[in-house]
Amino acid sequence: MRDGFVKVAVSSPELRVADCTFNVENLIHKAKEMADRGVKVLAFPEFSLTGYTCHDLFLQDTLLAGAQDALWRYKNETKELPLVSVVGLPYSHRGRLYNVAAVVHGGKILALVPKSHIPMYAEFYEGRQFAPWDQNNVKIVLGWGEETLLGCRILFEDITFRDLTFAIEICEDLWVPTPPSSEHAMAGANLMINLSASDELTGKADYRRELVKNQSARTLSAYLYADASEGESTQDMVFGGHNMIVENGTILEQSDPFAQDHDLVTEIDLFRLRNERRRMSTFQLYEDPKEYGYDIVGFSLGELEETELTRHFSRTPFVPQTKSHREKRCEEILAIQAHGLAKRLRHMGCKSAVIGLSGGLDSTLALLVTVRAFDLLSLDRSGITAVTMPGFGTTNRTYENAVLLSGQLGTSLREISIEDATLQHFRDIGHDVDVQDITYENSQARERTQILMDIANQTGGMVIGTGDMSELALGWATYNGDHMSMYGVNSSVPKTLVRYLVQFFADVSNQKELRRTLYDILDTPVSPELLPPEEGEISQKTEDIVGPYELHDFFLYYVLRCGFTPGKIYRLAVYTFCEGYDKETIFQWLYTFYHRFFRQQFKRSCLPDGPKVGTVSVSPRGDLRMPSDAADTLWKEELDRIRASFV
């Protein structure tokens, strides 16, 4: 459970309708199997001890007694297991019959949670046998003399690992306008467990899936959905065992209806859920859940231990993960960028835009976006002035790609060499041209920006910024050089997403020559080209200096989006990039990230305007409000502890 990870499981074992002995043996076997796999929280379906489709047999004392006996056996034979589990059964209380979930741990029944909303439509008609629970929590004594709670407003909290607090709702409870889990979340539950028996109908799986995802997202919680499977009666309905484990609206694991294996095991990240709730100012927890009728039942899963990770973490968290979403997501991002720029051009009355076109990825995306904005405004693309400014490090490849791209997109092109102007500047400030230091590099970047700004004045236009969010996070921009523009269309687009967007544009383009140019740009190493080439090839490769952008974008996502500690991010990076990078290399670039991130905030504090396209931004007017002189001592101390582990 270190770093907030808790291994959870949902299982729909084979059952026989009304055969409590057969069912409990399968539940016990499955609980032991899950405990061996490190599972700490296990959910079984609704009426898992009896079967859901018993119908009027639920009114038979024999079945009710059999269910009680099965529960007693289950809790005794699982008492040594280091997990908490939830099983379903019928329970009779004061002349009424309830559909309940029994929470079992350490040989005890922590509580019985009854269903709040009983379906009355013909498909189910549970109201024939069961009553909804509509009262406060009460203390009860089970048939073998054990005292416990019965009620819907119960929070189950791990007293050792207090970030784990779960609550329960049962099947139909999720379908009502205000599910109990909504209030459970406000009371403090961050894990919802739903014991369900939802039959399969045409299209119902999709509806069910969206329902669970939306409730998980709305409550900023993890959600375990345990569904009845094929062992149920098929007299009038068929059940498919559509199980799900969802975290904050994202499906971590699910079993398709009628799949052979209904067992789901993965890890939920409770720290991430905690951080999400902390970020959302409109998410207000009850100050005292007891004032709202809640009881808190404590249990302990033992000392904190490191949960073995099995879930998937994307190497590129900013990039869409499925091809089915690719086109839609790319169109959305490009539309946000283009419409943002179009609004600014319209507001300023501009019919001219100026872009420094290097033949690299960032300026390529900026030009593609600007072309879209001009098309939206029905402006002639010739009003876009692409300026290529060869310098000491420019290679033929990037120069030629810049020229080709401008022509293929129908924009105006100006070529202005910066070599003479930069040499004059070196003479003016007394800098030796043979000293290729930061002055040598930044002078070229600032010269280029001066040219762009002055051409914008000549044309009555505005300079379009090309720098991306990854560069801004690392401070890989020359202050008042490429750092400055009049509107930065890429300012919230990380480098891995820039590449993805250009790739998408190339793939869908119907211009053969444009596709060829874009593909070559994608194959070109990322470089500022401020140092002379070697044998005609790029000598200054950005990723050799500051580190691989796929690592830095991974770090950036979990630092800003999730607020994770260096230790947790390092752990996730080692787990995710185990094929490709060793631990020492990952640590080296993580240290570089934090070092540069803290020291380069002054550049981000005065960024030009630019559209936000995702959930992370480094704009001081967007997501990141950070003092420029904040100390990184605490973060470096944790990094030093990681470094010590290498010795």
Q: What is the pTM of this model?
A: 0.92
Strand order in the sheet with 295-299: 250-254, 244-247, 222-227, 191-196, 165-170, 154-158, 295-299
**CB-side neighbour CA atoms (13 Å) of 70:** 28
Give, to the nearest 10 degrees, the angle between helix 361-376 and helix 323-348: 70
First to last CA, the chain: 25
Q: What is the pLDDT of residues 248-291, one digit of tens each?
A: 999 999 999 998 888 999 999 999 999 999 989 889 899 999 99
- Catalytic residue among 7, 40, 115, 568, which? 115
User: How does pLDDT run across 194-229, given as a tens digit for each residue?
Assistant: 999 999 899 999 999 999 999 999 999 999 999 999
Active-site residue identified among 152, 171, 330, 350 = 171
Say which amino acid occupies 82: P
Clarify whether 328 is annotated catalytic. Answer: no
Arithmetic mean of pLDDT, 398-414 = 97
pLDDT, one tens digit per residue, over 146-160 is 999 999 999 999 999
Quick one: tokens of 346?
A: 């319209």
Block residue for tokens 């100012």: 281
Is pLDDT at 125 greater than 90 in this prediction?
A: no
The sign of the dihedral angle between the CA atoms of 438, 439, 443, 449 is positive
| CA pair distance 275, 267, nearest whole angstrom | 17
Average pLDDT over residues 478-491: 96
Q: How confident is the model at residue 11 (pLDDT cuts 50, 70, 90)?
A: very high
CA proximity to 252, closest of 267, 241, 235: 267
46 is catalytic: yes
Distance CA 493, CA 499 (A): 10
Judge whether 139 counts as a catalytic residue: no
